[in-house]
Amino acid sequence: MSLSKKKLQKPEEKCTLQEILGVIGGKWSMSIIYALFTGKKRFSELERIIPNINTRMLVKELKNMEANGIVVREVFATVPPTVEYTLTTKGEKLEPIINELYKWGVEYVG
């Protein structure tokens, strides 16, 4: 009885949903991930593609996403240096989910 009640409540799943939001719930994270579905992008490209983001916020979100293993950052020794971001497998696996979420948004959020 006590076990089935505990199972019903699934407290560990609630924790995980919050951990997940900690990884991809940043204001711009999904927009950045979405932009990277079509392939790696330079910092300057991301800045241009994502509307209304400023440089400081983009740096911050990308650092957070790199730390969480969603993107890989590569620096090339060009003059000036080129910085490119690519999705990891972990990030790529979000594609169908974010696409579905986007479809939901188009239908219900407007």
User: Cα 109 from chain centroid?
Assistant: 20
Site string for a second copy, 14-43 (x = CB under 8 A): xxxxxxxx-x-x-xx-xx--xx--x-----
State whether residue 10 is helix, strand or coil.
coil
SS3 of 97, please? helix
Interface residue with a second copy, options 44, 54, 67, 100 (CB under 8 A): 100
Strands of 1-110 (E only): list them: 41-42, 71-76, 82-87
Contacting residues toward a second copy, per CB under 8 A: 8-9, 11, 13-21, 23, 25, 27-28, 30-31, 34-35, 38, 48-52, 69, 90, 93-94, 96-98, 100-102, 104-110
